Amino acid sequence: MEKQVKEKNELWEWTKALLIAFAIAAIIRYFLFTPIAVDGESMMPTLEDGDRMIVNKIGYKIGEPKRFDIVVFHAPEQKNYIKRVIGLPGDTLEYRDDQLYINGKPIDEPYLDAYKAQITEGTLTEDFTLEDLGVEHGEIPEGYVFVMGDNRRYSKDSRHIGIIDQKEIIGNTSLIFWPFSDIKIVK
């Protein structure tokens, strides 16, 4: 009889431990960090199609997106996109002769150097202003960001879907965890 009680207690302890472990894993997954797979080539060469990344969901609950952060957001097509933040609230933004200008000043984008070196004809990023894209007063409003993929010629981004409400941003990402041979932190 004593042996049965001991076995029941041990079984109950194991069950509690597993339930607690699953609860902690669920809290981490749904509130703190979540995995995501890169789908497509719009962020090449920074991110490859099929890369698996960790999304930090709490960073923007306590802070704001920063210029050049790589973010995951809910796109209008009911899917999640991974893009780079280029423009912040209050910014004016323009591309001219493959050069980014923010608030009238040229801004370097070193993550594009590899692609720009490969271009033999034309530019990586076509010329545009925010006014050309229909952004009122040519300035990003409060609570919104302008995002672009690094593979500018083949990226569906704010040039096509408009500026992004910061409420739609799930989080930022910089850690590739799969494939194992490519584990790294990207900038």
Q: Which residues are catalytic?
A: 42, 83
Name residues whose C-beta falls within 8 Å of residue 85's C-beta, 6 or more positions apart in sequence.
65, 66, 67, 68, 69, 70, 71, 145, 146, 147
CB contact at 8 A, 175 and 185? yes
Residue whose C-alpha is closest to residue 52's, from 175, 178, 181: 178
As a whole number of angstroms, the distance between CA 184 and CA 175 comes to 6
**What is the identity of the amino acid at 111?**
Y
